[in-house]
Amino acid sequence: MSERRIKWSYMDHWRSNGPAGPVDQWHSHRTMSAFLKQIKAVGFDAIDTFDFRLWQMYGDYGGPAGYQQMVQDHGLERIVNTFHAADYDLRDYAPHVPETHERILEDFRVTMGHWSVIQLDNIIVMPATLYYDMEPVTADKLKITAELWNQVGEITAGYGVRLTCHHEFFCGIQSEPDIDTFYAYTDPRYVSLFVDTAQHCIASVDPVALYRRHAHRVSGFHFKDTRDVATGDDHRHRPDSEIMAPTTGKWFYEMGTPHGLVDFEAMMTAVRDNEYRGWISVEHDKANKDGGDFSEATAVARWYAANVLEEIYR
Amino acid sequence: MKDTLRWAYALNQWNFRLDVFVRHSDQLRALKTLSACGFDHVELPAGTGRWDNLARPEVILLNHGDHAGFLDFLRRGSVRGVSSVYWDPGQPVEEEGWAFRSTANRHDHDAIVESAKPFVEFCAGVGAEQLVVRPVGSAWMSPPPDAHGLRTVGELWNRVGELAAAVGVGLALHYDCLGAVHTEAELVGLLEATDPALVGLALDTAEFTIGGIDPVAFYQRHAGRVTHVHLKDTRYADTGQEYRMPGAETTMLRGGAGRRIERWFFELGTEGGLVDVKAFVAALRSRAYPGWVVVESDHGGNPAELAMLNSWYLQYELSVAKS
Amino acid sequence: MTGIRWGYAINQWKPQFDDFVRREQHERALKTISIAGFEGVELTAGTGRWEPLGNPQQLAANFGSFAGFREFLAGCGVPAVSSFHYDPQQRSMEHLTGPLSPLAEADVPAVVARAVWFAEALTQLGGSVLVVRAAPSAGDDEPLDDAALHRLAACWQTVGRATLEHGVRTALHVDFLSALRSGDALDRLLERTEPDLVGLALDTGELTVAGIDPLSIVERHGDRIRYVRFKDALAVDEAEEYRQPHAEYAVRQRGGTREIPRWFGEPGIDGGLVDFPAVTRALLAARYSGWIVFASDPSPHPAASALLGGYVMQRELRPIANGR
């Protein structure tokens, strides 16, 4: 049996029905075990987490190593990537504002220190503040942003972890030209691209074409789907685009959803053509909105990976 | 699943109310969920009316054209076939004019045999091995069966068994914790009143446990008669007479009265489960049990979640390889 | 007739941080509250862009102005905001501050400023009470000695004075994890504060879970009660697990060693421990006049909880309050 070129990781979003209403998997050991069992049962190989889970890991599992042990006890390999979900704010934490850079760098030094007890592949970031806090997006701002992430990437590289950028449709760097410019300013040794299929589609950027253009910079993927493209001011809706934008209250769906806009077969073909070997992360945040269900969405997404995508490349 | 035992999954946990599991897209999601969990055969629950389009043969065929069309539909969800169909002749249905019938009543036998035909034909048409049936009505509705009563019921099922055997379909009587055939002695009596060549037993581990019968011990003693298995767990056993509460389907099993236990059936590996699942499955293997093992978790919580937890249990606690 | 008005707490509709963010969801919840018979909504302080009803800055960002929000409420049939529930230990993204403690003298000016921020909003929204978490959890700090009680009193006096300038009363809320639950700490705190400046919030659910009979509080401090929350209790923390560190997670959310599935529910819930008619009568006897806010805390069916609470209010409690 030939070695698998692609393995699948599941990204930290989950709700189940507790006696007092919906809870996430971190609610208790029991809910965490039920979550890990379900992820494993449908055939995922590993998980990704948000990095703010560190505090729950310390509080409930003795830290990232202890938590990873629990993950492994359920038959999953490890934690592959962590997503650094920062509270961007122009006053003290904004990649295009140089005065905030030292604070950001210190944040990453501390964060990487916490995670150093296990081996991660990537630390994933949204590389810019909300769009409405960055616009107008100028070449200067892109340059300053790129310089910051070069420095952060150097810090993370010291821990053997790749700093990789994930472009939300509502973040400052979301259009095709801006993305290209940004990567031109960054150092390939220290800054990678993490392709989120839905986020790009929503922003009217073809994720397959983007991937083909920057394949040598790509260190991972979020495979998720959407049914809507952002129109008008969706991407800069105040105070929030992700949940409050007029076009829809539910931007994200599991891959293979009916009327989905992402061409996953083309995406997988591109992954094969570029001989990418490694992890693909599956994500469908807020799957429980509008009558959805995390267990089912996850099962159906893994079915799609097994029955459609792995037929193309495995 | 890849195993010497053959594993299937029961769809009834998705069809927990008449209107929630009707749209084909919703059904495909359930099928894909099961497939992702490693199951490629399903057991269908019987039903009635136009919303039971995965349950009532005429309605299924109306939705998919013919048996092949239905199997194609299943394959779109990567499910390869139907292991079995579960049917309760005592449940009044629209297709039979809501007639109430009892297998214990000889006068109803002709009509019951006639009403079995759509199910037998459907099983044959889709390649389902077993028609799984509720042999008698609920205990709270009738006095306990005596030897004569058991013979009467046995005769009915011999007739249906013959019908099924003629088209290569097996018939399995499914014991449940509310049935009028309740004690081990009564169950054995019923089996003895049937022809082993025509009628088998569907052993449901949770139903047995609730009813006070040890499924492992019973299987060891009567392995030859067991032609079908439902594998599920429970956290509670009947204290002795709860099954006789009036309206026990609701008062006992849904927590309407008595101990007010709202959920009796649970996924494999549940905390405080009473069924020794590992011992039971080991017993099946030791006797080279040839039939289907249908994993089930009816009246539970989130259907997808239950299927996934059951799948994990098979893989990790029973070491059944997924593929 | 009585000056009692009946309100409903909105917090049960937001079980997780990304729930209850869209306008149409607020509209449905507010209409539910309205048709259930309530005349005011209590808001819970929150921070960040996914808390559109959580603080004055978010309200302004989403509705243009307080008047705009008031119009929205009126359109849903809810005449007023009764109150804001504020916990100083919650960080503020709007102000870039971390948790504040009423026990820390250095934090008091910030707590006061925050309280005034909410009070100003309340006056424009028809509200009259700022309900504050009076003390941190018992398990996260030293027991309250004399000096600590002195600092607490000083903090809340200052806050109470400041909010009163805006016509808003400050009412101290004691939850079942609170350091004020032990011994006579609450009595001593009330003694050290002026009745005109610092009121007491009577939360039937929190008190009952804490093993304290709400009737005993009405009896002892009826004249200090400036706000009432009617919430039912489903279990009592007899083992005093509230003293553990991180009890917010281990005890309130996960139910402690007994894994209590739900501590709280709407008034009248099956298995509820609070005698609401008795408490209502006691409040009347103490001449309480003000808001009684119904709550259920996290519920598997928020709308159902509101309707069931509304039934109890309309059929049993409001008639008592109106002298029948």
Shortest distance between the Cα of C28 and any Cα of chain A, in A, equals 14
B315 to chain A: closest CA residue? A41
Residue corresponding to tokens 């392995």? B223
**Given the DSSP bridges, would you call strands B81-87 and C40-44 parallel, antiparallel or unpaired?**
unpaired
For range B294-316, the mean pLDDT: 94
- Name the burial class of residue B231, with classes exposed (0-12), middle (13-18) and buried (19+) by CB atoms within 10 angstroms of its CB: buried
Mean pLDDT for chain A overall:
96
Q: Is A31 on the interface with B (CB under 8 A)?
A: no
Instruction: Label residue A143 by pLDDT band (50, 70, 90).
Output: very high
pLDDT exceeds 60 at position C43 = yes
C248 to chain A: closest CA residue? A27
Contact: A42, B309; criterion CB under 8 Å? no
Q: Is B307 on the interface with A (CB under 8 A)?
A: yes
> CA end-to-end span of chain A, whole Å?
12
- Pick from A29, A131, A170, A240 the residue to mutate for testing the C interface (most C CBs within 10 Å): A240
**Given the DSSP bridges, would you call strands B130-133 and B170-174 parallel, antiparallel or unpaired?**
parallel
Instruction: Label residue B323 by pLDDT band (50, 70, 90).
Output: confident
Instruction: Label residue B203 by pLDDT band (50, 70, 90).
Output: very high
Instruction: Quote the number of domains for chain B.
Output: 1
Residue C13 belongs to domain with CATH number: 3.20.20.150
Instruction: Domain of residue B93: give its range.
Output: 6-316
Contacts of A22 in chain C (CB under 8 A): 15-16, 19
- Give the model confidence (pLDDT) of C119-136 as tens digits: 999 999 999 999 999 999
Contacts of B54 (CB under 8 A, 6+ apart): B11, B15, B21, B27, B44, B47, B60
Q: Is A293 on the interface with B (CB under 8 A)?
A: yes
Which residues does residue A66 pair with via DSSP β-bridges, in sequence order? none
Two structure tokens written together for C173: 């809320």
The pLDDT, as a whole number, for residue B27 is 96
Contact: A249, C49; criterion CB under 8 Å? no
Contacts of A58 in chain C (CB under 8 A): none
Instruction: Domain of residue C135: give its range.
Output: 5-321
Residue C306 · residue C8 · CB < 8 Å = yes
pLDDT exceeds 70 at position C1 = no
Instruction: Label residue B276 by pLDDT band (50, 70, 90).
Output: very high
Contacts of A27 in chain C (CB under 8 A): 253-254
Q: Is C315 on the interface with A (CB under 8 A)?
A: no
- Name the burial class of residue C60, with classes exposed (0-12), middle (13-18) and buried (19+) by CB atoms within 10 angstroms of its CB: middle
Shortest distance between the Cα of A208 and any Cα of chain C, in A, equals 30
For chain A, what is the HEC assignment?
Answer: CCCCCEEEEEECCCCEEECCEEECHHHCHHHHHHHHHHHHHCCCCEEEEEHHHHHHHHHHHCCHHHHHHHHHHCCCCCEEEEEECCCCECCCECCCCHHHHHHHHHHHHHHHHHHCCCCCCEEEECCCCEHHHHCCCCHHHHHHHHHHHHHHHHHHHCCCCEEEECCCCCECCCCHHHHHHHHHHCCCCCCEEEEEHHHHHHCCCCHHHHHHHHHHHEEEEEECECCCCCCCCHHHCCCCCCCCCCCCCCCCECCCCCCCCCCHHHHHHHHHHCCCCEEEEECCCCCCHHHCCHHHHHHHHHHHHHHHHHHHCC
Share of chain B above pLDDT 90, in %: 92
A285-289, B46-50, B256-260, C269-273, range with greatest mean pLDDT: C269-273
Shortest distance between the Cα of A266 and any Cα of chain B, in A, equals 21
- Pick from C17, C20, C50, C90 the residue to mutate for testing the A interface (most A CBs within 10 Å): C50
Q: Is B268 on the interface with A (CB under 8 A)?
A: no
A33 to chain B: closest CA residue? B309
The pLDDT, as a whole number, for residue A135 is 97
Contact: C52, A244; criterion CB under 8 Å? yes
Query: Which residues of chain B from 84 to 103 reach within 8 Å of chain A, CB to CB?
Result: none
Ordered DSSP codes for C126-179: T--EEEEE-S-BGGGS----HHHHHHHHHHHHHHHHHHHTTT-EEEEE--TTBG
Contact: C15, A89; criterion CB under 8 Å? no
pLDDT exceeds 70 at position C35 = yes
Mean pLDDT for chain B overall:
96
A31 to chain C: closest CA residue? C254
**Given the DSSP bridges, would you call strands C264-265 and C232-233 parallel, antiparallel or unpaired?**
antiparallel
Nearest-CB residue to C299 (from A20, A87, A239): A20
Q: Is A29 on the interface with B (CB under 8 A)?
A: no
pLDDT exceeds 80 at position C68 = yes
A91 to chain C: closest CA residue? C96
B267 to chain A: closest CA residue? A34
One CATH from 3.20.20.150, 1.10.150.20, 3.40.50.360, 3.40.50.720 for A6-16+41-53+79-312: 3.20.20.150
For range B231-254, the mean pLDDT: 95
The pLDDT, as a whole number, for residue B16 is 85
Contacts of A193 (CB under 8 A, 6+ apart): A164, A165, A183, A214, A217, A218, A219
| DSSP 8-class letter at C100 | -
B159 lies in some domain: yes
Chains that touch C (3 or more CB pairs under 8 A): A
Instruction: Quote the number of domains for chain C.
Output: 1
- Give the model confidence (pLDDT) of A21-74 as tens digits: 999 999 999 999 999 999 999 999 999 999 999 999 999 999 999 999 999 999
Dist CA A73 CA A32 (whole Å) = 12
A18 to chain B: closest CA residue? B301
Residue A178 · residue A204 · CB < 8 Å = no
The pLDDT, as a whole number, for residue B247 is 94
Dist CA C321 CA B253 (whole Å) = 42
- Pick from A243, A250, A284 the residue to mutate for testing the C interface (most C CBs within 10 Å): A243
CB pairs under 8 A between A and C: 58
The pLDDT, as a whole number, for residue C141 is 86
Residue B254 belongs to domain with CATH number: 3.20.20.150
Nearest-CB residue to B33 (from A34, A40, A299): A299
Dist CA C295 CA C131 (whole Å) = 14
- Three-class SS state of B171: strand
Dist CA C312 CA A13 (whole Å) = 38
Contact: B301, A299; criterion CB under 8 Å? no
Instruction: Label residue B300 by pLDDT band (50, 70, 90).
Output: confident
Shortest distance between the Cα of C258 and any Cα of chain A, in A, equals 13
Q: ipTM of this model?
A: 0.87
Residue B128 · residue B83 · CB < 8 Å = yes
Peptide bond preceding B246 in cis form (omega within 30 of 0): no
pLDDT exceeds 90 at position B143 = no
Q: Is A117 on the interface with C (CB under 8 A)?
A: no
pLDDT exceeds 80 at position B250 = yes
Nearest-CB residue to A42 (from B30, B36, B316): B36
**Given the DSSP bridges, would you call strands A16-18 and A21-23 parallel, antiparallel or unpaired?**
antiparallel
B136 lies in some domain: yes
For range C23-33, the mean pLDDT: 94
The pLDDT, as a whole number, for residue B30 is 96
Residue corresponding to tokens 């922003």? A203
B1 lies in some domain: no
Residue B179 · residue B145 · CB < 8 Å = no
Dist CA A216 CA C43 (whole Å) = 50
Dist CA A48 CA A102 (whole Å) = 27
Chains that touch B (3 or more CB pairs under 8 A): A
Contact: B316, A75; criterion CB under 8 Å? yes
Contacts of B1 in chain A (CB under 8 A): none
Contact: B36, A302; criterion CB under 8 Å? yes
The pLDDT, as a whole number, for residue C142 is 87
The pLDDT, as a whole number, for residue A1 is 45
- Give the model confidence (pLDDT) of B205-220 as tens digits: 999 999 999 999 999 9
